[in-house]
Structure 1
Amino acid sequence: MAEQNVITLMLDDLAQQQPIRTALSIGLNLTNDLSDLNIQFSHFNASVFLNLPFQQRYDLAVVRLNDLELQQFNPQQKTQLIVKLRDLWAKRIVVCAEVQDEKLMRALGFQQLFDYQLIEQQSVWLFNILDYKQVPDWLNAKYWANPENWNKYRW
């Protein structure tokens, strides 16, 4: 119950940053709880989702890795599910994961938003395709051609 309240508040904040029109959830059915946010939610069963062909890209995906069905997945299946969501299905992904999934989440490029380990031994992770990688300072047109050095140095 506390988890749904946390997710509801987080979705409110994410919607203020960037509009959310479509969303999907796996392991946590949010369609009834968030009907007032004007978000078109789709709920999928995890094993069914892994076999679905790509249909559309969603603005947001919410996954609860400690769902009864997902607890029976091996680490490779969990990784496959999250990577499929990250690469094809969603621009932003919110994952509620247990403490032992921390290495997996970091390896897949997720940022830890917060953890509430004292209550339920879980952490909340976010992947946003728009800011998952910080652009290095040197990666711009100023440093590539160096026309001011063309007749000064021999490369």
Structure 2
Amino acid sequence: MAEQHVLTSLLDDLRQQQPIHTALCLGQDITVYSPEAINWQYFNASDFLNLPFTQRYDLAVVVLHEQTVSDLPNEQQSQLIVKLRDLMAKRLIVIADQKQAQQLRALGLTQMLNQILDDEQLMVWQFNILNYKQVPDWLNSRFWANPEHWNKFRW
């Protein structure tokens, strides 16, 4: 696996930010490259779409450029990522080709890394609900929720 070094360093960085106890992977079985402290589950991409929700994992890793996932139509790839993003995982890591960048950006993922491995340009994308959207400065009580003005002004 060409991205073994990238994945191990990425997992170490993610574990330092927040503990990872449970994780799942789709597209390629990466459980052999990860620390033993993580409880990994590997799923086939087509079977995963039919699985019911049973638990929320700390991390999900999807390797989109692998044949098992890349053979799926774009619509099913999007459904797979949305199911992981919204339902199954707190944090989502997607490893994909450069040609899938627009699709991943449209699904709300942010690019973490752009790596050229074995003459193949791979991009690492992430989705973390905790830092998905930065809170704008105007969205605070100083501008809109002033209880001291409730009986003074008519809106």
If the length of structure 1 is used for normalisation, what is the TM-score? 0.91
> Displacement, 1:150?
5.0
Q: Which amino acid aligns with 1:141?
A: S
Q: Distance in 1 between matches of 2:90 and 2:151?
A: 46
Q: Which amino acid aligns with 2:86?
A: D
> Displacement, 1:26?
0.2
Counterpart residue number, 2:26:
26
Q: Distance in 1 between matches of 2:57 and 2:47?
A: 17
Counterpart residue number, 1:85:
84
Q: Which amino acid aligns with 1:31?
A: T
> Displacement, 1:146?
2.9
> Displacement, 1:152?
6.1
1:61 aligns with 2:60: yes
Q: Which amino acid aligns with 1:87?
A: D
Counterpart residue number, 1:112:
111
Aligned residue pairs: how many? Answer: 154
CA RMSD in angstroms, aligned pairs only: 1.6
The farther-off stretch of 61-70 and 110-119 is: 110-119
Q: Distance in 2 between matches of 1:150 and 1:90?
A: 41
Instruction: Please state whether the residue corresponding to 1:56 is helix, strand or coil.
Output: coil
1:16 aligns with 2:23: no
Counterpart residue number, 1:70:
69
Q: Distance in 2 between matches of 1:120 and 1:151?
A: 64
Instruction: Please state whether the residue corresponding to 1:86 is helix, strand or coil.
Output: helix
1:144 aligns with 2:144: yes
Mind listing any 5+ residue stretches in structure 1 that lack a counterpart? none
Counterpart residue number, 1:95:
94
- Indicate the structure with greater helix content: 1
> Displacement, 1:28?
1.6
Q: Distance in 1 between matches of 2:151 and 2:27?
A: 62
1:50 aligns with 2:67: no
Q: Distance in 1 between matches of 2:54 and 2:46?
A: 16
Q: Distance in 2 between matches of 1:152 and 1:27?
A: 60
Q: Distance in 2 between matches of 1:72 and 1:45?
A: 12
Q: Which amino acid aligns with 1:142?
A: R
- Give % identity: 57
Task: Show CA shifts across 1:15-53 (max 9, x none).
Answer: 00000000000012122222x340000000000000000
The list of structure 1 runs, each at least 4 consecutive aligned residues, that deviate by more than 4 angstroms after superposition, is 147-154
Mind listing any 5+ residue stretches in structure 2 that lack a counterpart? none
